[in-house]
Amino acid sequence: MKVQKINLRVFGVLRNFSNEDGFLQIEFGAPVQVETGADLKRELMKHYSAVNSGLEPAILEDCALADESSILQPESRLKSVENLALLPPVCGG
C-alpha cells in the first residue's frame, strides 16, 4: 500500500517527539510503499535521517511495531497503517 501520512501512537522516550495526544505524526514528501512492518520502520528511519527533529533513527530500529491486538513481526504484512503503535525498548522489572 502507498502512504503519505501516518500517525503512530508512541510510548516511553518517543513521547518526547509526539503531539500532546501521544501520536507521532509523519508526513512523507511523496507516497511511500509499505507492505510489512520492516518496510514501515525503514521508511521512518529514512524520514528521521533526513529531518533534524532530534529523534535518532537508531532508536526506531530497536522499537517494536504493534497493532491493536499484538506485536507485529518485521515480516508481518500490514493490513492498514491505522491504529499502529511504536513501542520503544524498555528495561526494568
List the domains of the chain with CATH numbers: 2-87 (3.10.20.90)
Distance CA 31, CA 81 (A): 13
**In the prediction, which pLDDT does 13 show?**
86
Residues 71, 79: contact at Cβ < 8 Å? no
Mean pLDDT across the stretch 48-71? 85
Q: Would the pLDDT of 53 be above 80?
A: no
**In the prediction, which pLDDT does 93 show?**
45
| H or E segment to which residue 41 belongs | helix 37-50
Segment 2-31, tens digit of pLDDT: 888 888 999 988 898 889 999 988 888 789
Distance CA 45, CA 52 (A): 12
Distance CA 51, CA 36 (A): 23
Q: List the grid coordinates of 59.
A: 532508536
- Other CB atoms within a 10 A radius of the CB of residue 92 amount to 3
Distance CA 52, CA 33 (A): 23
**In the prediction, which pLDDT does 91 show?**
57
